Structure 1
């Protein structure tokens, strides 16, 4: 349960920040350029734009609800769910870049909307699980800034450059080539984000080495031997309980504020 300033000093916080930025940027690029995207893939027609906006919005809401349910059941760790959502975004963008016509729009919008909603549902869960609820509003707001960080380069730089290369004299572009470059760029960014999320998952699953962190705390308290195959000691019997029913630690000391402070100090070395 770290403070906001402590979060800013931790590499894992910025790893999550830039991982979310890749997914948010891909989704906001589609939202911000929906009009041009529909016209480009529908031979200059814009009648399909309200349908695409509605489908994307509904899928976005469904994705938030579905990811919330999956995360609540704890079937998979949340960093792994983040990696899967980004991998789905990367795959959808890559297939969308190769598509042509309104059929590509109608197939891509629900998928992109769903995974975009999944990301927004995972963000508060990751913030609370990995960094605690202290100064939670500041942590959540800072992670929300990743949406701006991811969307600005794609929407304001990448899209205008590729769109302008294929535009006609009137400034409009028709055809799949208009957004193929930006979609492939966002797919590549989401692929990198998925890899980073996978690294985050592995770092949380792997115990700290070198006698530090939670592994050292377990050794010190007797819950785990110095060797990898050491078994945990049996729980204290009723006869070994001190008067008053308060359990002693394996070291024979009462677990008090000093033990908690040591746990926090050693645990911080893992972050």
Structure 2
């Protein structure tokens, strides 16, 4: 299902996707349409969460489950039906047009003035802005923040090839940050069923579904918050990653403890922060290294995520889990020999049971919690190294 489902969704929706080649092709209704789709997605996540909680608390009849399923399909069809409700647009209006420059706005404000006066006003305003930008650049160079010289290859914000990006330190900072931070989050998603079973929860699928929902909400929240930091406060996007990774440290600690409700809180924090990784990291890479080879960059990010999962899940978590399970089996064998042959058969049949208690994933969760501190430091180094470059090369493309 995981292998077939996403390609089928892409193939189905590719016929209703409208390419947008410039801001002039954006329809006035696009903003409200995206807002409606986001609202439907948020309502769908809330709806699924409510259904899972209701199903866990009370027993529902088959007819009630059928009604809830039909409502779910209706919610899924709303975004698709939205594409057919769009008003058709004249193809002549879809032609790519140059972006509206500031002098056009100035000319509209002074349309009653003489053309010569308007032109002189535009030129003087442009010269003033250029002089201000040059003075800020020269001041930064004088302070040692920026070295104004010709460099080989593209600058940050321009289109990089994969080979040129691989020799950049900030690219490897992003890779290792995602390897440790994203890898630990995906490890929790893969092993959450066993975690809940070891803590005595009867329905582990609830936690698996919950972390998927939190992961989705983390995608939305991470992108939204990072845009606020970039556009409203003029801060680099990796600052949000630093905060997400520090919150994930706390989430892994909750998963390691056997406190009441700790598994719910840990699932919430890790799911949100893992989703934020995949909303912010690709956007950061696209802004630093361009969109021309973004497919190769994205595949490398996926490789880092899978490598981290291989290390944390297959090597660390599974080895510690098997060790704790074997230790519990040996303890039960010792107890069976002490108590006698009557209980011996009972424990012999029980040797195949799973590991029980928070000890099964305590050490693994604490290791992942400590490992999330390292990517937070790496992301902070990325922020410090690129802070001044963000203002010169990247921020002007966002405004």
Deviation readout 1:84-110 (Å, 9 max, x if unpaired): 111111121123212345x22122111
Q: Supply the distance in 2 between the matched residues of 1:3 and 1:164 (Cα, whole angstroms).
A: 44
The two structures have a TM-score, normalised by structure 2, of 0.49
* Count of residue pairs the alignment pairs up: 205
Superposed, which structure 2 residues align to 1:78-157 within 5 Å?
Answer: 78-100=237-259, 103-157=261-315
Deviation readout 1:121-168 (Å, 9 max, x if unpaired): 012111111111121111111112111111001100111221122213
Matched, 1:174 2:356: yes
DSSP-derived class of the 1:33 partner: helix
RMSD after superposition:
1.8
DSSP-derived class of the 2:369 partner: helix
DSSP-derived class of the 1:175 partner: coil
Match of 2:377 in 1: 195
Distance 1:199 1:205, change over 3 A: same
Q: Which one of 162, 169, 193 corresponds to residue 35 of structure 1?
A: 193
Greater relative CO (CA pairs within 8 A, separation 6+): 1
Matched, 1:58 2:213: yes
Superposed, which structure 2 residues align to 1:10-21 within 5 Å?
Answer: 10-21=168-179
Distance 1:146 1:122, change over 3 A: same
Q: Supply the distance in 1 between the matched residues of 2:193 and 2:254 (Cα, whole angstroms).
A: 20
Q: Supply the distance in 2 between the matched residues of 1:136 and 1:35 (Cα, whole angstroms).
A: 34
Q: Supply the distance in 1 between the matched residues of 2:196 and 2:378 (Cα, whole angstroms).
A: 32
Deviation readout 1:207-238 (Å, 9 max, x if unpaired): 7xxxxxx8xxxxxxxxxxxxxxxxxxxxxxxx
Q: Which one of 204, 207, 225 corresponds to residue 386 of structure 2?
A: 204
Q: Is the contact between residue 60 and residue 117 of structure 1 (CA under 8 Å) also seen in structure 2?
A: yes
Q: Is the contact between residue 193 and residue 205 of structure 2 (CA under 8 Å) also seen in structure 1?
A: no
Q: Is the contact between residue 238 and residue 284 of structure 2 (CA under 8 Å) also seen in structure 1?
A: yes
Deviation readout 1:11-64 (Å, 9 max, x if unpaired): 21111001011111111111111221111112xx432x1211121111111111
Runs of 4+ displaced beyond 2 Å: 98-101, 168-171
Q: Supply the distance in 2 between the matched residues of 1:58 and 1:82 (Cα, whole angstroms).
A: 20
Q: Quote the offset at 1:171 in angstroms.
A: 5.5
Q: Which one of 9, 12, 20 corresponds to residue 167 of structure 2?
A: 9
Match of 2:124 in 1: none
Q: Quote the offset at 1:206 in angstroms.
A: 5.0
Query: Gapped runs of 5+ residues in structure 1?
Result: 208-213, 215-262, 264-271
Match of 1:77 in 2: 236
DSSP-derived class of the 1:77 partner: coil
Q: Supply the distance in 2 between the matched residues of 1:107 and 1:143 (Cα, whole angstroms).
A: 27
Q: Supply the distance in 1 between the matched residues of 2:254 and 2:388 (Cα, whole angstroms).
A: 34
Greater per-residue helix proportion: 2
Q: Is the contact between residue 97 and residue 184 of structure 1 (CA under 8 Å) also seen in structure 2?
A: yes
Q: Supply the distance in 2 between the matched residues of 1:81 and 1:91 (Cα, whole angstroms).
A: 16
Query: Gapped runs of 5+ residues in structure 2?
Result: 1-157, 330-351, 394-399
Q: Supply the distance in 1 between the matched residues of 2:250 and 2:382 (Cα, whole angstroms).
A: 21
The two structures have a TM-score, normalised by structure 1, of 0.71
